Amino acid sequence: MRKLQMDELNRVSVEKFKELQKLPLVCILDNIRSQHNIGSIFRTADAFRVQELVLCGITATPPNREIHKTALGATESMQWQYVEHAADAVKKLKSEGYRIIAIEQAENSIALEQFLPQAGEKIALVFGNEVLGVSDEVMNLLDGCIEIPQFGTKHSLNVSITAGIVLWNMVQLMSEQAE
């Protein structure tokens, strides 16, 4: 077996990427403290053609050397904006018809594998702070919560790992609906 070379991967340019149709999916980063996690989420969002990232609270914004280390250029391809308060971002997206879903361990959360978006539905996923999770103010505005089942001794996953798992799942579900 041979690894593919970079020129064999058929990657699109940043300009072409910006023209491509994206999933009707927005990620809200609610007070993410690690710049490496932020960069990793940028890179994952690019890989799965997420529509936009909304960076809130203490979440750092590009240009930023530490974000760049893990984003590897995705800060140039991804559409993003900064909104000081995550609750304001949630309210705006709700008014635009988005269903707001937090990735959080909460009462009445549903397991990731049980979540089924409606065909054509616009979804905003909220990813919370590495220690405190999604803010209480945002929790009061949600349409629901998804939880990733875990079977070990730890009670949570790193937020960038969580984003990768959830976004991959959403890509599969939303792509199947589009077919």
**124-152 confidence digits (pLDDT tens):** 999 999 999 999 999 999 999 999 999 99
Which CATH fold would you assign to the domain 21-178? Alpha/beta knot (3.40.1280)
The answer to whether 78 and 67 are in contact (CB under 8 A) is no
Tell me the CA distances in angstroms from 155 to 65, 147, 148, 158, 165, one per residue in order. Answer: 30, 11, 10, 10, 16
What is this structure's pTM?
A: 0.95
Residue with tokens 């979440």: 59
User: Residue 177 has what pLDDT?
Assistant: 63
User: Residue 32 has what pLDDT?
Assistant: 98
Domain locations in the chain? 21-178
Each residue's pLDDT tens digit in the chain (179 positions)?
999 998 888 889 999 999 999 999 999 999 999 999 999 999 999 999 999 999 999 999 999 999 999 999 999 999 999 999 999 999 999 999 999 999 999 999 999 999 999 988 999 999 999 999 999 999 999 999 999 999 999 989 999 999 999 999 999 998 876 55
